Amino acid sequence: MTAATIELQKAVFAALAGDGALLAALGGPRIHDHAPANVPFPYVTFGRATAYDWATATEDGGEHLFTLHVWSRARGRSEAAAIMAAVRARLHDADLALAGHVLVNLREESQEMRFDDGHGVHHGTMRFRAVTEPAA
């Protein structure tokens, strides 16, 4: 992963962890890079992250695709949907500060929600796309 990818994840984590509406929906600061054992539901985890060179002949840059996962054991989809809405409200078109890089844009690309019968959880996936440039 590139340094911009790591800085982007740090900024996304800080933005989510500092959002009162999201923390209320989660019942506390339940945002994890990797969920610890026996973590209480609901919670959010970081998933797959991919970075691509977005440089031109005259400018450097990167395209970053990342996934956030929402996990809920509530009856019905309402809890997971509310958490996903709070995440989108905080991140879509957000202006986040990245150390050593400039965030050109951050957009939610897609959402999906399904019920995982094997684990008895509602699982939401949110895919985001960000473009970064090195700071001047």
Whether residue 24 lies inside any domain: the answer is no
> CB count, 10 Å around CB of 4?
27
Quote the pLDDT of residue 67: 98
Distance, in Å, from the CA atom of 4 to the CA atom of 55, rounded to the nearest integer, reads 13
Whether residue 10 lies inside any domain: the answer is no
pTM for the model stands at 0.94
How far out from the chain centre does Cα 123 lie?
A: 14
DSSP string, the chain: --HHHHHHHHHHHHHHHT-HHHHHHHTS--EESSPPTTPPSSEEEEEEEEEEE---SS---EEEEEEEEEEE-SSSSHHHHHHHHHHHHHHTT---EETTEEEEEEEEEEEEEEEETTTTEEEEEEEEEEEEEE--
Quote the pLDDT of residue 51: 95
Whether residue 107 lies inside any domain: the answer is no
Whether residue 45 lies inside any domain: the answer is yes
Whether residue 49 lies inside any domain: the answer is yes
Number of domains observed in the structure of the chain:
1
pLDDT tens digits in sequence order for the chain, 136 residues long: 479 999 999 999 999 999 999 999 999 999 999 999 999 999 999 999 999 998 888 889 999 999 999 999 999 999 999 999 999 999 999 999 999 999 999 999 999 999 999 989 999 999 999 999 999 8
Quote the pLDDT of residue 59: 86
Quote the pLDDT of residue 105: 97
Q: Containing domain of residue 67, as a range?
A: 41-72+92-101+118-136
Whether residue 5 lies inside any domain: the answer is no
Whether residue 80 lies inside any domain: the answer is no
Quote the pLDDT of residue 136: 83
Whether residue 84 lies inside any domain: the answer is no
Quote the pLDDT of residue 56: 84
